[in-house]
Each structure stands twice: as structure tokens, then as C-alpha cells.
Structure 1
């Protein structure tokens, strides 16, 4: 925080970080690791000092990585050259990373985040204090932080549009954040007080997903939204904006759910999709069945097998 105040603080911060990263690399090298797995790229500044082969994971959009501008992304690209492999979570992220850092294309590969399906099913079966007026199978659910990125303002306006078209369902919003007060005010202005339930943060939102008639995501951007996969695994039909990155790949270009043209402020198409889902039981059933099958591709066992194969491949290529 202080480095924003003066050049002296920036200099002190830079020197301190340099020494810290040297110390980190020193300790890692002392362990003589076969492979270093940098699961959040926190070793980016230490990578050139670490002797073992390294694999790094991206969990965010490459274009927005560490809020970098053109010059910052270029510097990051130079540091990424010290990794043997770089994992992105979906095809969209791969294409974006290749565009930002074309010199890293041979290092990039796609390996999605896993979903613990067995644990998910157990959590979804837990008993909860379900709101009396929330009818199972006849409500939409959103699971998201109440922040600018998640754009719940658009979701509320879209839900109001769906109600205008004749949708009788309710909307349950699970999550908390700095936008909560504004969203409560907007809900009142739209006349949705009796149809929208702000349920706050829930340690286990999965029973709500399992009982919902549809899961709606209105984000401005994502990395790889596992919440969509969790909803699909529980047989909850999905409606999502085609924001960068993740939803287009997860929904297979709209084959497995309603994929809406990306917008930050137009509620019409999203609202129409919500109305259509609420009035088409056959479509909901089709999405639910196909989504459950597709979600098996992201089971912990399958992703773990792919990761182990990757690690063995890296290790074998390092042998003399």
C-alpha cells in the first residue's frame, strides 16, 4: 500500500521483494525437488532462480493477469519462459494466452479444474433451512460474490424482464459483497422484493443448486467458473452470458445450456432466456441430462490422472 505514496516506498518494496524471492528460491532448491508445481504463479519472480523444472497454473484471464497493461504483460511473458509447462483451464484461455504470449505457445496446455463429484452429491443432499416461499424446481439461483465483476445488477434487471414476459419463478441470490446494499435498493426499485431472496454467504450452497430450476450467471468475466460445472453435475439447467472466459467451453457453445451473447448492460436476451427456461420443462430436462453426463469429464479422478501424466512427462524429459 505504501509503495503508491512515493518513489522511496516503491524502491524499498522492490528491494524487499527481490530479497524475499531469492530466499524462496534458495529454500526450494535445498529440497532438490523433481518438479515444482506453482499452482497460482506466485513464484513468477523466483522462477529464474529455481533449478527444478516448473509447471505454472493460470486461474484468471491471461489478458487481465495481475491487471497488466501491454508492457507489464510483456515483462510477465519473459518471466514465464522459465517454466517448462503452463496450464490454462479451458480452450478460450489457451487462445487468449497464445495471443498475449505467442512465444509461449509450445509450453501451454489445457487442463481444467476438477469437480469432486462424490463430495458434491453428498453436500447437495444435506438438509438446510429452505425459505418457505421458495418452491423447489421453480426458482433461479445465482451463486456469486456481490461485486462489480459478477454484475448482479444485470441479473436483477434481466429477472425483471423475465417477470414482465410472464415468468412466475423466484430468484435466490447466494453470496455477499460490497454491492449488497445497492442490489437491495435496485430490487425494490424494480418491484422484486417478494420474488428475490438474498440468502447471503452459504457454507454449503449445493442443496439450493440441486433444487433449483435454473442456474444463472451474469459475470463480466471469469477464469473457469467451476460453479457452472457443479450446477451441471447436480442436474441444474444453466443460463450464462458468454463472457470471457469459460462459459462458452463449459456449455459447449450452447449445446448444454442457454449461452447468451455477452453484454454488460442489456437485460433483454438474458431475461428472455430465463422466461423460456421457466416455461419449457422438456428443455430443462434435456439440459439436465446432457449436463450430468458432460460433468463426468471433470471428475477429480480423471483430472488427477491427466495431471499425473503431465508430471511424469515433464520428469522424463528432464532426465539425462
Structure 2
């Protein structure tokens, strides 16, 4: 079977590009003939790609593909024919607006891979339309969680097979590491309104008052850096909060932390949560849609009602004060992380592909 995995731009270093690359590598290892294509650029993927995978970019200069929709559709259709593709996996639902017309009349199995929360269209009417079209006309829609699958089933006039397959974790469960009582809480993500670091810093004011010897490390970069920095200074948190920016070695921060927290207003899945599980970190997370509840189930980690800043702070303080609880959660976390190992996730993809062939 020859499979085309089509994304926006695999030169980017985002989570979608990472799991798309992992899927390409995993399916290639299983013996599938893989073509990895980007609509814009993508000629030099950021994440490692196995030898034998063909890398293609439809357009080699940055730009807005939507401004040249007919040309994009033509390019995709020509690629499908030229490479004699059997199965097309579209990595972003919006791209279905290109791929549905491109596949008309072709003997191609069409899979839409959703990476966002169904209830959040990111302010784009095109995404709402693309989801409805995907549910009705694609051969399968893959969501990242069971909860999101249910939203698709209830919110679309679907004829396609809608199934939930989680993202794979890039880290295996880590061996036990004796930590030097670092008293560090870790948060990772883009510094944007979606990720809720403003809420986290509000909670940290209360945490810092009760546990002044603990520190908060936030890894990531984004448009909200200036506002977050100003908040830290105004509330005299500079001694206990560090905004470290982007890093090429995020595993270092997982190893050094004692607690992980997620303050997002919403998530499509929550890759950082399954990464934190692999490092055995106890987690405090808002119970936002749609990933945390499923990921943290049976781990002992703490789900806090969405936007409840006071409860978030109290939950962090409780964990900080309970060494034994943190150790118990750590064991359960690494056990849960096994579910998200690439070999298990790829097996689910293989089962889906074979069921559609």
C-alpha cells in the first residue's frame, strides 16, 4: 500500500509536525510505501524522517495556499496520480477543503486526521465547513480522544468511519531517577492565550505565598511573553518564576521537575501530558476539553475544574507537601505512558488502514 501523508509544512517544529513525522516513520517501518508531502515548503522536515520516505513540497515559497485554491487542488490531484497513491492521510482538517475535490473520481482511500477540539474552530468558518465535509465524504476521520470522537458523532451528518487514535509519545517510560529535591514545577507550551499561562501565574501568587522555596519554570515562546513578564515583575514573582523560552532539549526540564502542570483553556489532545507521564511526573491540570481527563485517568494526578485558579493553586500546594503521594503517582504515570508508546499507536493505525483497504 502506498500512503501519502499530507501536512501544511513539515519544516515547522510544532506538535502536529512531530506526530505526523512519527506516523510516517512508524508506517514506513511496518512496510508501507510512504510519501510525506507539505502544501507549503516542507522540503527539509524539522523532525527526523526515515530513509526510503519520499519528501515532497507542493509549493517551495511561503504564502497563503487559500489564495490559490484551484492551483493547490490541481497539485494534490497530480501528486496522487503521479505517485499512484492508495491512501491519503490529511494531517489538518482544513486541508480537506483541498483534498476532497482533488480526490474526486480517484481510487484513493481518504482519511482526515483531526488535531483540534471539535468544539473549537479557532475562529475559522472554513474549519467548521471542512469538518462537516470530512465527516460526510472522507472514508475515515481520526480524532485524538474518545470524547472528541463523540463530539464528531453528535455534531456532524457523518457517513464516514470516525475513530479515536491517540498521539504517540516521543519518549519511552523513563528509568527511575533520584532527584535532588529540585522543588520545581514545570509547564510547557506556546506563550499564547490558549495555553492559559496567565491563569497559571495568578495561581502561582497563592502558591508562592505558601511555598516560597518552590519555583515555576515555563518552557516555550510566543506572543504573550511581554504580558507574562510584566505580570511576573508587577507581582514580585521574579525570584520564583522563570520563562526560559524555547529549548532544543525539553527532556532536561522534565527530568529536573518534580511536578508538571497544564493550565490550558482548551486542548486538542495535550502532548505535554503524555510526555510528562513518561517521565513519571505527577500532574495538576485544568479539566479542559478534550484531552486531560482521558490521559490522566487512573494515574492519581489531579484534574481541576476549568478556570478555577484557587483550586489549581491548592492542588499544587497539596502535591508539594506530600512526597509519598508524588512517588505513588509517578509509578502510575509511567505505567499509563506505556499506552501511548509509538508501537501501540502504529498498531491502531495499521488496523484502521487494513480495515479500509
Correspondences of 1:50-129 after superposition (within 5 Å): 50=103, 51=106, 52-65=108-121, 67-69=123-125, 73-74=128-129, 76-101=131-156, 103-104=157-158, 107-118=161-172, 121=174
Aligned residue in 2 for 1:30:
82
Any gaps of 5 or more consecutive residues in structure 1?
1-12, 126-133, 316-320
Structure with the higher helix share, 1 or 2: 1
What TM-score, normalized to structure 1?
0.82
Aligned residue in 1 for 2:336:
294
Distance 1:106 1:84, change over 3 A: closer
Segment of structure 1 superposing worse, 242-251 or 13-22: 13-22
Aligned residue in 2 for 1:238:
283
What TM-score, normalized to structure 2?
0.74
Segment of structure 1 superposing worse, 88-97 or 20-29: 20-29
The CA deviation at 1:32 is 2.6
Distance 1:16 1:166, change over 3 A: closer
Aligned residue in 1 for 2:6:
none
Q: Matched residues in 2 for 1:46 and 1:227: separation?
A: 30
Aligned residue in 2 for 1:223:
268
- Aligned to 1:18, which of 41, 65, 70? 70
| Number of aligned residues | 289
SS state at 1:227 partner: helix
CA contact (8 A) 2:138 2:160 kept: no
The CA deviation at 1:20 is 2.5
RMSD: 2.6
CA contact (8 A) 1:167 1:275 kept: no
- Aligned to 1:192, which of 228, 237, 240? 237
* Cα deviation 1:214-257 (Å, max 9, x = unaligned): 001101111111111111110111110011110111111x7431
Q: Matched residues in 2 for 1:62 and 1:49: separation?
A: 24
Aligned residue in 2 for 1:262:
306
* Cα deviation 1:149-189 (Å, max 9, x = unaligned): 11111111111111233453111111111111211111122
Distance 1:72 1:39, change over 3 A: closer
The CA deviation at 1:29 is 2.7
Distance 1:21 1:204, change over 3 A: same
1:152 aligns with 2:197: yes
CA contact (8 A) 1:161 1:267 kept: no
Q: Matched residues in 1 for 2:280 and 2:146: separation?
A: 24
Q: Matched residues in 2 for 1:75 and 1:209: separation?
A: 37
Segment of structure 1 superposing worse, 31-40 or 299-308: 31-40
1:314 aligns with 2:356: yes
Structure with the higher strand share, 1 or 2: 2
Any gaps of 5 or more consecutive residues in structure 2?
1-64
CA contact (8 A) 1:214 1:237 kept: yes
Distance 1:15 1:240, change over 3 A: closer
